Amino acid sequence: MNADLSLVSLILDASLVVQLVLLTLVLASVLSWTLILDRSRVLARARKAAESFEERFWSGGDLSVLYRELGESARGQQGLAAIFRAGFKEYVRLRKIEDDTMAVLQGAERSMRVAMSREMDRLETHLAFLATVGSTSPYVGLLGTVWGIMQAFHALGNVEQATLALVAPGISEALIATAIGLFAAIPAVVAYNRYTTQVERLGSRYEEFMEEFSTLLQRQGRS
């Protein structure tokens, strides 16, 4: 309990600059944790949706029926389902007005690429913020540390005899800024690296599906 009171006392007695640095880091940490939890849920749903759609897609059912069913559900507007709907819709539209099979396939692939780009943007949302928090928080904390140490040594100029007891509080409050900077940065860096890897894997999965679906459409066009 005394340690907690001592920590609170150091923060309350810190200079305005150090307090602003600490407040900034705490807010960044709270916001980054909020986004970490949000991205975790979004990416988990994306993986489950991809697995569910691939199971339905490769079950051998009619693609037209699958297209209509997906259009009636919210899940049909995201992930592999959204890519499939964009490609199949364009494929059906172009077949009615275009005799060139390759032109039809290229149009369907372009639509799928656009849909995939939207999906990747959705999955990557807020990852840049986590990267920013992870890379800048230690330096922001270091700023508070340097400022606090400068203030502590500056106070020595007003006394005749310098002792460790005079500078210890100032140095302690300064080091708190470094500690909180690391506390904010480490989870953000870990989450960014982990989620970036997951997004890349989903992107590869989307790419593979697009190639397989394009091959399937090509076979249908020849039949």
pLDDT at 4 over 50: no
Share of the chain above pLDDT 90, in %: 53
pLDDT at 153 over 60: yes
pLDDT at 162 over 60: no
Nearest-angstrom CA–CA distance, 29 and 159: 38
Nearest-angstrom CA–CA distance, 62 and 11: 66
Give the predicted TM-score (pTM) of the model: 0.83
What is the pLDDT of the chain when averaged over all its residues? 85
pLDDT at 216 over 80: yes
pLDDT at 3 over 50: no
Are the C-beta atoms of residues 133 and 188 closer than 8 Å to each other?
Answer: yes
User: pLDDT band for position 2 (50/70/90)?
Assistant: very low
Share of the chain above pLDDT 70, in %: 84
Token representation of residue 202: 């989903």
From the list 218, 222, 132, 133, the residue with the least C-alpha distance to 180 is 133
Are the C-beta atoms of residues 38 and 47 closer than 8 Å to each other?
Answer: no
For 60-119, the pLDDT digits (tens) are: 878 888 888 888 765 657 899 999 999 999 999 998 887 788 898 999 999 999 999 999
Q: What are the distances in angstroms from CA 148 to CA 5, 12, 171?
A: 20, 13, 6
Are the C-beta atoms of residues 141 and 21 closer than 8 Å to each other?
Answer: yes
Looking up tokens 């913020």 gives: 129
For 165-202, the pLDDT digits (tens) are: 666 666 777 788 888 999 999 999 999 999 999 999 99
